[in-house]
Structures are given as structure tokens and as C-alpha cells.
Amino acid sequence: MKVLLIRMSSMGDLVHTLPAITDLARHRPDLSLHWLCESSFADIARLHPFVHKVHELSWRKWRKQLWKKENREHLKNLAQLLKNEHFDLVVDSQSLLKSAFFAKMAKAPIYGLNKDCAREPLAAWFYDRHFQVDKHENVVLRTRQLFARIFDYDVQGQADFGVNVPLSGSIDKLPEHYYVACHATSRDSKLWSEKNWIDLFTRTHQKDGFPVLLPWGNDVEYARAQRIASALPNAQVCPKLNLLQAAYLMHHARAVIGVDTGFLHLANAVNTVVIGLYTDTNPARTGIQETNTSINLGGIGQNPSVDEVYATLMRFLEV
């Protein structure tokens, strides 16, 4: 059976889908899984060895200028490509009108959440079969449940992201031991203060002398990284990283501490020590998957203290 998965964006959402793919690989190794996603996040899909082929689109770019002939041609070509693949089944795990629109291009039966569970209930009208999951559970488990309902198996055990971090993402001259601070996020209400970052890594430096590396994605984040680094004795602002390089950076870190951002979830997927800092979102719904070396701290209206984060980090590093 040839299956197309629709999960277009964002980075964290793609990462959250990976454990469901690991489940699928275990229970239905006979399937050939293709994945349609935004070009800017395609390398996330490629991290999982069970994904046979990744199909890319640039809807975030195209939608701004749909009146341009070249963008309409892109949509037409994508529709023809998906139709020519002759999929047996399409799984829309994003449950939005836009994802349902692209799912229809494949000209195959579409399976997805029912209207009570879908993020946009109208999307369910496009589906040939509808499935119920526990909408109060976290996003990783909900996606695992959807796959299990569609392909008729039970969800078992902890989430396993199943990724392989390729050497093609390797970064030259990384320190042997280092921390990563994921300080940037999509809105200011989810930030942890620069003073907190400086206080935390001043304390880690006093204990072990290891540097902290600061990734960034835009000019505002770069400026913040520079300010934090200038106040620390052994901090480095990373060069601009692609997603494979970011995965490599996180995978080899001593620990990753971060606010609610895609890079934090990427770190969670590559099996390193991870501490998620939540100040304006509910980690029970969209937080990292907790293990004996990963945890969510804080929540809506809660700001984790430096003391709490440092104590948690030291406890994890002793495991």
C-alpha cells in the first residue's frame, strides 16, 4: 500500500508527527510512506528512515501571490505529480482546510479526524473516513492515536521519534562539550528573560566551564543571542543553521534548554537532555515528551526560576 501523509507545517508539528511514523513502521512495515510538507521543513521529514519520499511545496510563499502565473503553475504541477503517484490512501493529520485542499490533489481516499477533533472542523467534510481521538491529550499522542485507528493497531509504550541524524548536517569545530540555549520563539510572551539566560549559564560555567551555543533564525534573534553572549564568559553565537545542522547541534549537546519553539522539539526528537521552559502555553498539550532526561517546566502564567532550571539540569546530568 502506498500512503501519502499530509503534514505541511510548522517545524514543531512535523516533529510531533515522527513518533506516529515509528509506530507505523513497526506495525505496517509493508507500507510505502510519502510525506507532503513545506519545503522549509522538508529535512524534518527526511530524518525518519521510514519515510520513502518527501514531496515539497511552498504554500506560505505561493499564497501571497496567487495571481502570479508561475505560482499557479506550481500548484498545477504539484497536483499532477501527486495524482501520478497513484496513492492508495491519503492521511491528513493536520486537519486544516488548506491541508484538506492539498490532500484532494492526490485523487485517493482521504482519512482524517472527525469534526469534533479536527483543528478546523470544516476540513472533515473533505475526508472519506473520520476517526475519533482523545482531544484532551497532547499532540504527539493524538497523532499516534490517529495512525493507530486508521491502520488498526494499538498505541503502545513511550513515544519514539525514530530519527537518524545524518552526518551531512555535521558542523565543523564544535566544542567537545557544550550546552545549547534555544532562546527564540514565535511571540514575546513565550520568551525567558535575557537576565535569566545569563544567570543560568554563568552558574553552569562556574561549575564545569563548558560553553553555551546560541542558535538563531532572524535578525531579532541574532541580536538577542549577541547580547546574551556578550554577558557570558564562554558563549558562542552560532552561524545560521539549516535544519540538519540544527539537529546535529542538538544531538551532540550536553543538554538543550529552550522556550516553546521548533528547535526545542527538534532537540527532544534527537534524544538529548532537554528542559522546556513554558511561560505562556500549556506543556500538557504541546510540550516536549517527558522522559528521565527531559521535562517541561512552567506553564501559562508561570515563569520557571533560574534556581529550578539549574537544579533540574544538574539532576539530569547526574543520571
pLDDT tens digits along 88-123:
999 999 999 999 999 999 999 999 999 999 999 999
Answer CATH for 2-151 from 3.40.50.2000, 3.40.50.2300, 3.40.640.10, 2.60.120.10: 3.40.50.2000
pLDDT at position 84, please?
A: 98
Is the pLDDT score of 158 beyond 70? yes
Is the pLDDT score of 61 beyond 70? yes
CATH superfamily for 168-317 is Glycogen Phosphorylase B; (3.40.50.2000)
pLDDT at position 281, please?
A: 92
Closest by Cα among 218, 251, 269, 276 to 45: 269
Among the listed ranges 4-8, 16-20, 93-97, 284-288, which one has the minimum average pLDDT value? 284-288
Give the CA radius of gyration of the chain.
20
- Pairing assessment for the beta strands 294-298 and 51-57 based on DSSP bridges: unpaired
Start and end residues for every CATH 3.40.50.2000 domain found in the chain: 2-151, 168-317
> What mean pLDDT is reported for the chain?
96
Is the pLDDT score of 133 beyond 90? yes
Q: What is the 3-state secondary structure (H, E, C) of 17-50?
A: HHHHHHHHHHHCCCCEEEEEEEHHHHHHHHCCCC
- Assign 29 a pLDDT band (cuts: 50, 70, 90): very high
Residue 15 burial (CB count, 10 A): 28
- Assign 135 a pLDDT band (cuts: 50, 70, 90): confident
Residue 174 burial (CB count, 10 A): 16
Residues 6 or more apart whose Cβ sits within 8 Å of residue 126: 92, 100, 101, 103, 104, 110, 112
pLDDT at position 319, please?
A: 58
Closest by Cα among 269, 310, 306 to 291: 269
Is the pLDDT score of 271 beyond 70? yes
* pLDDT tens digits for range 166-206: 999 999 999 999 999 999 998 999 999 999 999 999 999 99
pLDDT at position 67, please?
A: 86
Interatomic CA distance for residues 131 and 210, integer angstroms: 49
Please compute the mean of the pLDDT values over residues 9-31 and round it to a whole number: 97
**230-235-238 Cα angle (round to 5):** 100
> Which residue bears the cell 510548522?
10
Q: Read off the pTM.
A: 0.95
Please compute the mean of the pLDDT values over residues 47-69 and round it to a whole number: 94
